[in-house]
Amino acid sequence: MEGLEYREMQPEDVFSALALRNEVFSEALVSQEDWERDGMLASIAVLEGEVVGAIPLILRETTIAPGVTITAAFENSVGTREELRSQGIGRGMIAEARQFLAGRADALLVYRGDEQSDGYRFYATTDHYDLAYSRHYRYGSPETSYLPPGVTLAGKESIFLNFERLEAIFNSTYGRFGGFPARRGEYWQRALASSIYTEFPTEFSFVHIIQSDELLGYAICGVRTTRHNGMADVLEMATLGADLSIAQRVLTGVASVAGERKLGVDIQVTDADPFAPLFQSNGYLADPRGTIIMGQVIDVSEFFAKHWAPRFDLHNTALTVSTPQEEYLLIEPETRQTTLNLEMKEETLHRWLLGRLDLRARLSDGSVTAYGANSQMVERVCDAIPFTPWAYHFIDWI
């Protein structure tokens, strides 16, 4: 489109970009103060000096596998002026984001829902690949507000006072998982101050069990105070060692929060979540999969060198990857005796680098092929980037 410019949002663009965002998403308004507190970046489209498209971005330190934390740019509230939609402006803003985020972020990630929606199709056509799926588990309004012995109910401030304990318990449950912003420092204070809770004002409850001054398990619940959804949302839940007996007591405490308000309970998790069987055994009804984490690596070679290369020991063997789009040289030893070449689709490469693909299984079923090196080298490559189950927690939503 003649005269259309793509660029990173500058301070003088914030007012116009936010006004466009609030025009497109008028049911969930956000203030400039919220944006600034979240540290919002944006890729914008400008036509004749006016912002006509914006993709807001938040940088988050995100765990993709045990011991592997990347900087991810999370996209949210993508919007284009109505009369200019379906003209490729969204694709242009994604391409621009990849350019100015290079060296500042490792990947683009987004939470999406409804695989049959235009929004999902937009991300799929801009080379975002499905990484994880979650589903809702719902329970109708509990008949009792009974709080089990040893279970304590507190407010938001108690969450902040216990963040070091929460970090230990969260990692005890989800230390082998990936797919979420790293739980360290004052993560929970930042998360509960997010602009999402300005869009949907929420009352928070902290259901927890402390025994001999040790936190054994907890759940953070949220009840929307406006645009009520009739549910007490479980935003996050964890127990020491993913213990199901402790989780059962916490879940009963969650039911008391909902029962007192005559609300149902809504929990979103992936199928790999250690507590999914508990929800089913307690009568929670599972929905078809809903929220999807989609994403793409911004620079394949840089990502590999930064996060995975130290785990590879291929001696004098080079490692290359061939996709229909590009040839990648990932490892070039000082003395090359042979080359191991992996042949795969571009989507497969991105999913592998993000820890979401079992390379050994793909080689076995033939969707990935390899040549040029012996089987021992192939096995080392398979072991170096293991498949990692991903978890989803509604507290992370933006």
User: d(Cα 74, Cα 294) in Å, to the nearest integer?
Assistant: 10
Q: Whose CA is closest to 342, among 333, 352, 354, 356?
A: 352
Predicted pLDDT of residue 323: 98
Location of structure tokens 């308004």: 29
What percent of the chain clears pLDDT 70, i.e. is strictly above it?
A: 99
Predicted pLDDT of residue 135: 96
386 in Cβ contact with 355 (< 8 Å): yes
Token pair recorded at residue 204? 């928070």
For residue 277, the one-letter residue type is P
SS3 content of the chain, % helix, strand, coil (to 5): 35, 35, 30
Which DSSP category does 122 fall into?
A: H
Confidence category of residue 70, pLDDT binned at 50, 70, 90: very high
Q: What mean pLDDT do residues 232-255 have?
A: 96
User: d(Cα 248, Cα 103) in Å, to the nearest integer?
Assistant: 44
Predicted pLDDT of residue 177: 98
346 in Cβ contact with 127 (< 8 Å): yes
Token pair recorded at residue 260? 């007192």
Residues 109-145: tens digit of each pLDDT: 999 988 999 889 999 999 999 999 999 999 998 776 7
Confidence category of residue 198, pLDDT binned at 50, 70, 90: confident
User: d(Cα 389, Cα 179) in Å, to the nearest integer?
Assistant: 8
- Residue 23's beta-bridge partner residues? none
Predicted pLDDT of residue 157: 93
Predicted pLDDT of residue 3: 81
Q: What mean pLDDT do residues 249-274 have?
A: 94
Residues 373-389: tens digit of each pLDDT: 889 999 999 999 999 99
How far is Cα of residue 127 from the mean position of the Cα atoms in its chain? Answer: 17
Q: What mean pLDDT do residues 244-256 have?
A: 95
Longest Cα–Cα distance of the chain, Å, equals: 71
Q: What mean pLDDT do residues 252-260 have?
A: 92
Q: Is the pTM above the cut of 0.75?
A: yes
Which DSSP category does 106 fall into?
A: S
Residues 281-319: tens digit of each pLDDT: 999 999 999 999 999 999 999 999 999 999 998 989 999
User: d(Cα 107, Cα 358) in Å, to the nearest integer?
Assistant: 20
Residue 57 has pLDDT above 90, yes or no: yes
Q: What mean pLDDT do residues 196-215 have?
A: 91
Predicted pLDDT of residue 395: 96
Residue 146 has pLDDT above 80, yes or no: no
Comparing 166 with 31, which gets the higher pLDDT?
Answer: 166
How far is Cα of residue 110 from the mean position of the Cα atoms in its chain? Answer: 7
Provide Rg for the chain, Cα atoms.
Answer: 23
Predicted pLDDT of residue 60: 95
Residue-averaged pLDDT of the chain: 93
Q: Whose CA is closest to 299, among 328, 339, 324?
A: 328
Strands annotated E in 271-316 = 285-286, 292-297
Confidence category of residue 168, pLDDT binned at 50, 70, 90: very high
Residues whose CB is less than 8 angstroms from the CB of residue 90 and which lie 6 or more positions away in sequence, other chains included:
53, 55, 78, 80, 122, 126
- Domains of the chain plus CATH, in order, are 4-105 (3.40.630.30), 137-293+391-396 (3.40.630.30), 294-384 (3.30.1050.10)
Give CA angle at 381 (174, 179), nearest 5°.
25
Residue 24 has pLDDT above 90, yes or no: no
Other CB atoms within a 10 A radius of the CB of residue 163 amount to: 17
Predicted pLDDT of residue 143: 74
